[in-house]
Amino acid sequence: MKETDIIIIGAGAAGLMAAYGAAASGSRVTVLEKMPRPGRKIMITGKGRCNFTNVKEWNEFQAHIHPKANFLRPSFYNLTPTKLIDTFTEYGLESVVERGDRAFPVSHKSMDVVDVLVRMASSAGAKIICGCSVTGVINDNGAGDGFIVNCSDGSSWRCRKLIVTTGGLSYPKTGSTGDGYPWAEAFGHSLTPRFPSLTALTPKNYRYTEWISLKNIQMSSIIDGNEAQSEFGDIDFTDGGIEGPVGFKLSRKCVKALQNGSKVAVVIDLKPAVEPEDLEKRIQSLWDEICKDRRSEGKPYKTRFGVLLGKLLPMEVIPMFMANYPELDHKRLGRALKNWKLDIVGNVGYERCVITAGGVNLEEVNPKTLESKKRSGLYLAGEILDLDADTGGYNLHIAFATGYLCGQSAAKALDI
């Protein structure tokens, strides 16, 4: 039986930051990670560029947190985005802040974020063991309030405090397979329903594989006939469906509604900066020009209409747009451009979603320490909690901030 003060299960963003926070006090800290290397999910964050935080102040930051932003408040103020950036700088990672207050490593390489986290945890004294899969966690009845952690290689660990940072269910190939949920339940915790968030929404009869980007559009989600959310920005049509910043923002409510059996649709305004009447006038003017053009002489209506579409839409998106409006003409085009409706029937699921919504019930965790209210000495951080956020660096900051507070709290509790 091996012994240590604190065991952290999971060497992702939350786990590595927890290790840094706990080991800095001088505690014996051991991190158990089942994957061959730490930080596997961090490696794919932001398409490999790793948008690791967002530098907004709390009043703006909290608007992007779901479902209960106030739960995050103590963690946020304990490790603000500015403090995180300063800490990374201290350990050799320079950063840059880009559009939308998003912070990235200067190199735009996610590996550099993983490296600095490992460097921080290791230099503080934490021991990181990879390739060690935890099979079970039980009470250490022979040592009062401690825990025994069993691993697949037959080894066992005894610890006084346990931090679970195993993540959720998103991108299971990185090791996020929901291992921590049954352990939390075994210690008395309840789980709120989990579902994919920041994921591609799949329209009905969607068969497209080409990547198409649309900028500066307005997209609204319609749930059971009522507008639920509306966002301005960019979207991407991919092999999975509608993604991009705006698609991801709307996905949380849409996926949850689909799971509840609601009817879901999105309406895209392709010309949000133009009033309907002005757009109608613009279309008529373009149509008149096309019809007067000598090159249009003798051409069928469909051909001339195709030229009109090419003046108003990117060529790549026209087939998809027209699939919804096979009988569309130039007189009704303006309305269609302002109200492109797509029925949503699914999503790409956990295989490609950015984050897992739902998880350990926040009412059962102390937000000031992140210690379980069900089992003393047990701490939870990161994606395993029922706490998620919009795209833009918020989710990684949740992981860093909750992990750091967990580590510090567990270390302080050793002396009590």
pLDDT at 207: 87
Q: What is the mean pLDDT of the chain?
A: 95
pLDDT at 142: 66
Note the pTM of the prediction, 2 decimals: 0.93
Of the pLDDT bands very low, low, confident and very high (cuts 50, 70, 90), residue 335 is very high
Peptide bond into 67 cis (omega under 30): yes
The Cα 12–Cα 108 span in angstroms is 19
Give burial (CB, 10 Å; 0-12/13-18/19+) of 142: exposed
Q: What percent of the chain has pLDDT over 70?
A: 99
**CA dist 67 → 64, 389, 398 (Å):** 9, 8, 13
Place of tokens 């106030």: 70
For the stretch 182-212, pLDDT in tens is 999 999 999 999 999 999 999 999 988 889 9
The Cα 95–Cα 54 span in angstroms is 12
Of the pLDDT bands very low, low, confident and very high (cuts 50, 70, 90), residue 416 is low
Cβ atoms within 10 Å, residue 314 = 14
The Cα 357–Cα 372 span in angstroms is 19
Q: Spell out the SS3 assignment of the chain.
A: CEECCEEEECCCHHHHHHHHHHHCCCCCEEEEECCCCCCHHHHCHHHHCCCCEECCCHHHHHHHEECCHHHHHHHHHHCCHHHHHHHHHHCCCCEEEEHHHEEEECCCCHHHHHHHHHHHHHHHCCEEEECCCEEEEEECHHHCCCEEEEECCCCEEEECEEEECCCCCCCHHHCCCCCHHHHHHHCCCCEEEEEEECCCEEECCCCCCCCEEEEEEEEEEEECCEEEEEEEEEEEECCCCEEHHHHHHHHHHHHHHHHCCCCEEEEEECCCCCCHHHHHHHHHHHHHHHHHCHHHCCCCHHHHHHHHHHHHCCHHHHHHHHHCCCCCCCCCHHHHHHCEEEEEEEECCCCCCCEEEEEECHHHECCCCCEECCCCCEEECHHHECCEECCCCHHHHHHHHHHHHHHHHHHHHCCC
The larger pLDDT score, comparing residue 143 to residue 12, is at: 12
> Phi-psi category of 46—alpha, beta or left, where left has phi over 0 and alpha has psi -120 to 50?
left
The Cα 105–Cα 369 span in angstroms is 29
Longest dimension (CA), the chain: 93
The larger pLDDT score, comparing residue 173 to residue 56, is at: 56
The Cα 353–Cα 147 span in angstroms is 33
Mean pLDDT of 336-360: 96
Cβ atoms within 10 Å, residue 264 = 24
For the stretch 204-240, pLDDT in tens is 999 888 899 999 999 999 999 999 999 999 999 999 9
- Residue 141: pLDDT over 80: no
Q: What percent of the chain has pLDDT over 90?
A: 93
Mean pLDDT of 256-281: 97
For the stretch 256-265, pLDDT in tens is 999 999 999 9
Strand partners, 54: 102
The Cα 8–Cα 298 span in angstroms is 75
Place of tokens 């800290």: 29
Domains of the chain and CATH, by start: 2-194+357-413 (3.50.50.60), 200-348 (no CATH)
Of the pLDDT bands very low, low, confident and very high (cuts 50, 70, 90), residue 106 is very high
105 touches 42 (CB < 8 A): no
Mean pLDDT of 312-316: 94
**CA dist 84 → 52, 107, 397 (Å):** 9, 17, 9
The Cα 312–Cα 405 span in angstroms is 52
